[in-house]
């Protein structure tokens, strides 16, 4: 009677298991860089505010600090775009990564632009204690709150996709509901990068006018973030057969940003925002024309003859 000898072996590890684990860290590294840029932007803005608070304000040194803060927010926009795209490409999206990304956006595109708009604009230009100065505090706070609400609404919509009439789950990946908070913070940063000299450097009268206009802009951005306007997400760009054209276009835009960053960045952000308004107007008129086409004229009733 022969006995079968069974050799127990440890199950082999999946191929490149360590590499697969390492892929999960890549999006988190970009998210951490996003938070780092936001922290740098806040600290640079506060340092510039100190340079303006002395008996002899140093406008040139403050302008350099403000420009650095704006550039940091611009890099954060790039990191925010890369972490989500890399996570989708490598299929390493995790729940903790989604939540961490939202927290990073609150810091970098909510708090940092609110502080930057205050210290570069109306904080140093308006007299402290006046009603207008207190209103500027409120507007900066509302910008931060609307940005946080915008991110919370996005997370809820992503975790609870709507059910269409046929009963299937549908997730809208082509558009965002409300202005994305990176775009709102990017516009404030682009304006500061375009003219980094603080508003108080233009004189008291002009600084007051510019401060009111900046407050209106920040308030408008706050409303747009919590609105129902739809803005393209560009998540599907570069994934089809025209990916090579997309790469060439991105390289061309990147070259223009390096050469003419003050003009190109501001133009790109404004074009994206106006794109949302134009799309909304087109959809409204399109629905109106479709509604009028489907309504048939009522037949004219004639009195019956006896």
Q: Is 10 inside any structural domain? A: no
Averaged pLDDT, 22-44: 87
What is the rounded average pLDDT for all residues in the chain? 81
Q: Is the pLDDT of residue 305 over 50?
A: no
How far is 245 from 251, CA to CA, in rounded Å? 10
Q: Is 112 inside any structural domain? A: yes
Q: Is the pLDDT of residue 242 over 50?
A: yes
pTM of the model: 0.80
Which tokens belong to 28?
């988190």
What is residue 46's predicted lDDT score, i.e. its pLDDT?
94
What's the domain range around 241? 24-290
Give the range among 18-32, 66-80, 213-227 with minimum mean pLDDT: 18-32
Q: Is 200 inside any structural domain? A: yes
Q: Is 295 inside any structural domain? A: no
Q: Is the pLDDT of residue 87 over 90?
A: no
**pLDDT band per the 50, 70, 90 thresholds, residue 298:** low
Number of folded domains that form the chain: 1
Q: Is 297 inside any structural domain? A: no
Q: Is 299 inside any structural domain? A: no
**pLDDT band per the 50, 70, 90 thresholds, residue 85:** confident
What is residue 248's predicted lDDT score, i.e. its pLDDT?
85
Task: Give the CA distances from residue 46 to residues 43, 62, 66, 153, 219, in Å, rounded to whole numbers and listed in that order.
Answer: 5, 10, 9, 30, 22
Q: Is 85 inside any structural domain? A: yes
What is residue 13's predicted lDDT score, i.e. its pLDDT?
45
Q: Is 13 inside any structural domain? A: no
Averaged pLDDT, 249-259: 86
Give the range among 64-68, 97-101, 116-120 with minimum mean pLDDT: 97-101
Residues 161-188 pLDDT 10s:
554 444 444 445 667 888 999 999 999 9
Which tokens belong to 220?
């408008």
Q: Is the pLDDT of residue 292 over 50?
A: yes
Averaged pLDDT, 102-128: 91
Give the range among 18-27, 99-108, 110-119, 251-260 with minimum mean pLDDT: 18-27
Averaged pLDDT, 90-99: 74
Averaged pLDDT, 25-34: 85
Q: What percentage of the chain reaches a pLDDT higher than 90?
A: 43
Q: Is the pLDDT of residue 41 over 80?
A: yes
Averaged pLDDT, 133-147: 93
**pLDDT band per the 50, 70, 90 thresholds, residue 1:** very low
Q: Is the pLDDT of residue 257 over 70?
A: yes
- Measured N-to-C along each axis, helices 59-89 and 95-105 cross at an angle, to the nearest 10 degrees, of 160
Residues 42-68 pLDDT 10s:
999 999 999 988 788 899 999 999 999
What is residue 5's predicted lDDT score, i.e. its pLDDT?
43
């Amino acid at each position: 009677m022969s006995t079968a000898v069974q050799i127990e072996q440890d199950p082999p590890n999946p191929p490149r298991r360590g590499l697969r684990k390492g892929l999960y860290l890549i999006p988190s590294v970009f998210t951490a860089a996003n938070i780092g840029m936001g922290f740098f932007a806040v600290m640079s803005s506060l340092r510039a505010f100190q340079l303006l608070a002395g008996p002899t304000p140093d406008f040139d040194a403050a302008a350099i600090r403000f420009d650095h803060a704006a550039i940091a927010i611009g890099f954060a926009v790039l990191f925010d775009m890369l972490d989500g795209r890399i996570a989708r490409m490598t299929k390493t999206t995790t729940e903790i990564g989604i939540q961490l990304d939202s927290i990073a956006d609150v810091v970098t595109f909510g708090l940092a632009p609110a502080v930057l708009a205050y210290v570069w604009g109306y904080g140093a230009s308006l007299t402290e204690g006046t009603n207008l100065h207190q209103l500027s505090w409120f507007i900066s706070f509302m910008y931060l709150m609307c940005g946080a609400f915008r991110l919370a609404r996005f997370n809820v919509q992503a975790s609870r996709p709507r059910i269409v009439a046929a009963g299937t789950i549908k997730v809208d990946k082509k558009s965002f509901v409300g202005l994305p908070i990176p775009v709102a913070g990017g516009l404030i940063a682009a304006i500061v990068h375009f003219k980094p000299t603080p508003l108080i450097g233009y004189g008291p009268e002009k600084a007051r006018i510019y401060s009111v206009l900046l407050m209106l802009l920040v308030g408008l951005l706050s409303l747009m973030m919590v609105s129902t306007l739809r803005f393209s997400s560009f998540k599907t760009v570069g994934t089809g057969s025209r990916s090579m054209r997309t790469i060439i276009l991105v390289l061309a835009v990147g070259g223009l940003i390096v050469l003419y960053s003050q003009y190109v960045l501001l133009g790109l952000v404004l074009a994206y925002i106006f794109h949302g308004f134009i799309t909304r107007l087109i959809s409204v008129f399109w629905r109106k024309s479709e509604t009028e086409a489907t309504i048939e004229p009522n037949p004219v009733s004639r009195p019956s003859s006896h």
